[in-house]
Amino acid sequence: MTSKQPTPQGISALLRKAGHAKAVVKLHGGTAGFCVTTDYSTGNVKVEYHANTMGSASHSTELNLSAYAKTIGAAGYDVAKPSPRWLIVTAKD
Number of Cβ atoms within 10 Å of the Cβ of 57:
15
* Distances from the Cα of 5 to the Cα of 1, 11, 27, 57, angstroms: 12, 10, 34, 30
Task: Please state the domain extents for the chain.
Answer: 8-90
Q: Is 74 exposed, middle or buried (0-12, 13-18, 19+ CB in 10 A)?
A: exposed
What pLDDT, on the 0 to 100 scale, is given for residue 1?
56
Q: Give per-residue pLDDT as tens, 23-55.
A: 987 777 778 899 999 999 889 999 999 887 665
Q: Give per-residue pLDDT as tens, 6-19.
A: 999 999 999 999 99
Q: Give per-residue pLDDT as tens, 49-76.
A: 988 766 556 888 999 999 999 999 999 9
